Amino acid sequence: MLKRRFIFHMPLDPGCLLERDAERSADRLGCAAVDFPVAVVLPAGGSGERMGLATPKQFCTILNRPLISFTIQAFERLSWIGTVVVVVAKENHDLMLNIVQKCNHTKAKVVHGGTSRHRSIFSGLQAFSSTTDSLTPKPKVVIIHDAVRPFVEEDLLLKITLAAKEQGASGAIRPLVSTVIATTSEGYLDHSLERAKYRASEMPQGFLYDIIFQAYQRCSEFDFEFGTECLHLALQYCGTNAKLIEGPPTLWKVTYKRDLAAAEAIIKETLSMSACIIAGAEAEAVELAKALQKNLNMMETDVIQCAKESNTEYLSKTRNFIHISTTASNFLGTLDMAKRFEDTDHARLYPVVVVWVQLNMTKQSVDSQKTDELTAFRSLASEVIQGNVLLYGIQIDHTKVPEQWERSVERLTQITVALIRDRNAALTGQLLHA
Ligand X SMILES: O=C(CO)[C@H](O)[C@H](O)COP(=O)(O)O
Ligand Y SMILES: Nc1ccn([C@@H]2O[C@H](COP(=O)(O)OP(=O)(O)OP(=O)(O)O)[C@@H](O)[C@H]2O)c(=O)n1
- Which of these segments, 64-72, 107-115, 222-230, 234-242, binds ligand X (CB under 6 A)? 222-230
The Cα–Cα gap between 246 and 349 comes to 29
* Rounded Cα gap, residues 170 and 221, in angstroms: 24
Which residue from 36, 1, 5 is spatially nearest to 329, judged by alpha carbons?
A: 1
Task: State the residue number with the nearest CB to ligand X.
Answer: 228
Quick one: which segment of 174-182, 198-206, 266-274, 349-357 binds ligand X (CB under 6 A)? Answer: 198-206
Binding partner of 153, given ligand X, ligand Y, none, CB within 5-8 angstroms per partner class = none
To the nearest 10 degrees (0 to 180), the angle between helices 283-295 and 402-422 is 60
The one of ligand Y, ligand X, none whose footprint includes residue 44, by CB under 5 to 8 A per kind, is ligand Y
User: From CA 72, how far away is CA 405, in angstroms rounded?
Assistant: 47
Q: Which residues bind ligand Y (CB under 6 A)?
A: 43-50, 56, 58, 87, 113-117, 120, 146-148, 253, 255
229 binds, among ligand X, ligand Y, none (CB under 5 to 8 A by kind): ligand X
Q: Is the peptide bond before 204 cis (omega within 30 degrees of 0)?
A: yes
Nearer to ligand Y, 116 or 274 (CB): 116
Q: Shortest Cβ distance from residue 228 to ligand X (Å)?
A: 4
Applying the rule CB under 6 A, the residues between 139 and 168 that interact with ligand X are 146
Among 228, 344, 364, 371, binds ligand X (CB under 6 A): 228
CA torsion, ordered 332, 336, 342, 348, to nearest 10 deg: -50
Q: E-strand spans in 45-107?
A: 61-62, 65-66, 84-88
> Is residue 308 a contact partner of residue 3, using CB atoms and an 8 Å limit?
yes
Nearest approach, Cβ of 406 to ligand X (angstroms)? 52
Give residues 232-261 in contact with ligand X (rule: CB under 6 A): 253
Measured from the CB atom, the residue of 49 and 372 that comes closer to ligand X is 49
Q: Which is nearer to ligand Y, 173 or 431 (CB)?
A: 173
User: 149: which residues sit within 8 A by CB, 6+ positions away?
Assistant: 71, 202, 203, 204, 251, 252, 253, 254
Q: Which residues contact 328 (CB under 8 A, 6 or more apart)?
A: 358, 365, 369, 373
Q: How far apart are CA 409 and CA 407, in angstroms?
A: 5
Asked if residue 203 binds ligand X (CB under 6 A), the reply is yes
Residue whose CB is less far from ligand X, 15 or 43: 43
Nearest distance, CB of residue 244 and ligand Y, angstroms? 19
Is residue 230 close enough to count as binding ligand X by CB under 6 A? yes
Rounded Cα distance, 77 and 26, in Å = 10
203/419 with CB nearer ligand Y:
203
Closer by beta carbon to ligand X, 42 or else 417: 42
